[in-house]
A and B are shown apart, each in its own frame.
Chain A
């Protein structure tokens, strides 16, 4: 079995990521994002279930323009790109492997329950904050947007505050 390639030096990876954001600003005037794509996906599903209700909902109502799918949006294509980049990256580095990442003191099922729970919490949080680590912290942080820097400190604060409680999951 061949060893997977090593990860990039974190500063090299960070500079590369920053340049991706900069190129995105330069061409499109927009930065990165991720949670927005799931908002559009959720909106499309809710619209299928009840068009009138979805169009009147104040969180997603703007997404519905006659003759235009809520999925035909920049952020959705961006995240499809992230998925392609992710699979190309993991396969070419020899890191693609079906597994569940967990610490030594937690079972697979408990880890998956926590992953689901973390996703729910992160999903609600990204809606409150109007963005996640990509859209708020990196994109808005680079712009020096005040709210994005509040987000950055709050995110690290929230994570460190809860770290002790879920330590058995990781260490």
Chain B
């Protein structure tokens, strides 16, 4: 029997929606515990002061990647059985840059803005209002964007296929990259904190309350 379970078991639509609620609930809870209900914890990554956001994100991607490819190599869940995301090179590049811009300007991304709003943060709610406006704006103007949106399509291509490597090698290279990047940002963080005479407190574990002037 191969995973995912939806392939081999008879999970109906209502039950799948219940699973979505539970998975979403766990997702929201972990984002809150990670500190992403506050924009300052997210934006701090972009000023070299506290790379918490990058640490959480890379640790999440690495954990999930190792799990996915372990399940793939053992035949429990062939990676082709899960919904692989298709690649559109230029839309990913432009869309990614815009989502990143929105993150430093607005302080959130779509998922974290929901958690922030539900933590009482008014700026999170304003991000969500903007998110709805931006999404509708794109849909309403889709005739202008359609050609670009569908351009540079490469299908469901994975990194190891693109580079012609065994998946296990690619997984190790990506893991090495992540470890190296997190080591490097740790050094940058130490330098920035020393230079800006910030409290060398573990801003890691305490919310940097920036409500009050320094």
User: Does A associate with B in a complex?
Assistant: yes
Nearest Cβ on chain A to B123's Cβ, whole angstroms: 4
Q: Do A157 and B31 touch (CB < 8 A)?
A: no
Closest to A125 in B: B98
Closest to A18 in B: B63
Measured between alpha carbons, how far is A19 from B23 in the docked complex, in Å? 10
Q: Do A159 and B85 touch (CB < 8 A)?
A: no
Within 8 A of B (CB), among A14-64: 14-32, 34-35, 38-39, 41-43, 45-46, 57-60
Select which of B45, B99, B148 is within 8 A of A133 by beta carbon. Answer: B99
> Is there a chain B Cβ closer than 8 Å to A103's Cβ?
yes
Contact with B along A112-140 (1 / 0, CB 8 A): 11111111111111111111111111111
B contact residues, total (Cβ < 8 Å): 139
Closest to A26 in B: B3
In the complex, which residues of chain A have a beta carbon less than 8 angstroms from the beta carbon of B29?
A: 85-86, 88-89
> Is there a chain A Cβ closer than 8 Å to B74's Cβ?
no
Closest to B212 in A: A104
Q: Do B105 and A10 touch (CB < 8 A)?
A: no
Closest to A81 in B: B24
Nearest Cβ on chain B to A129's Cβ, whole angstroms: 3
Q: Do B23 and A46 touch (CB < 8 A)?
A: no
Q: How many contacting A-B pairs (Cβ < 8 A)?
A: 568
In the complex, which residues of chain B have a beta carbon less than 8 angstroms from the beta carbon of A156?
A: 54, 100
Within 8 A of A (CB), among B35-58: 35, 37-41, 43-47, 49, 52, 54-58
Closest to B13 in A: A72
Q: Which of B30, B116, B133 has the most CB of A within 10 A?
A: B30
Nearest Cβ on chain A to B3's Cβ, whole angstroms: 5
Closest to A113 in B: B126
Measured between alpha carbons, how far is A87 from B192 in the docked complex, in Å? 33
Within 8 A of A (CB), among B60-77: 60-65, 67-69, 71, 77
Within 8 A of A (CB), among B114-168: 114-124, 126-140, 142, 145-146, 148-149, 154, 156-160, 162, 167
> Is there a chain A Cβ closer than 8 Å to B7's Cβ?
yes
Tell me whether chain B's interface is mostly helix, strand or loop, or mixed: helix
Nearest Cβ on chain B to A9's Cβ, whole angstroms: 7
Measured between alpha carbons, how far is A15 from B30 in the docked complex, in Å? 10
In the complex, which residues of chain B have a beta carbon less than 8 angstroms from the beta carbon of A45?
A: 136
Q: Do A79 and B87 touch (CB < 8 A)?
A: no
Select which of B85, B101, B167 is within 8 A of A121 by beta carbon. Answer: B101
Measured between alpha carbons, how far is A13 from B79 in the docked complex, in Å? 25
In the complex, which residues of chain B have a beta carbon less than 8 angstroms from the beta carbon of A19?
A: 63-64, 67
In the complex, which residues of chain B have a beta carbon less than 8 angstroms from the beta carbon of A95?
A: 32, 37, 119, 207
Q: Do A143 and B158 touch (CB < 8 A)?
A: yes
Closest to B54 in A: A156
In the complex, which residues of chain B have a beta carbon less than 8 angstroms from the beta carbon of A144?
A: 65, 69, 158-160, 167, 170-171, 174
Q: Do B135 and A152 touch (CB < 8 A)?
A: no
Closest to A84 in B: B25
Q: Do A24 and B55 touch (CB < 8 A)?
A: no
Nearest Cβ on chain A to B155's Cβ, whole angstroms: 10
> Is there a chain A Cβ closer than 8 Å to B27's Cβ?
yes
Nearest Cβ on chain A to B74's Cβ, whole angstroms: 13
Within 8 A of A (CB), among B166-212: 167, 170-171, 174, 204-207, 210-212
Measured between alpha carbons, how far is A97 from B95 in the docked complex, in Å? 32
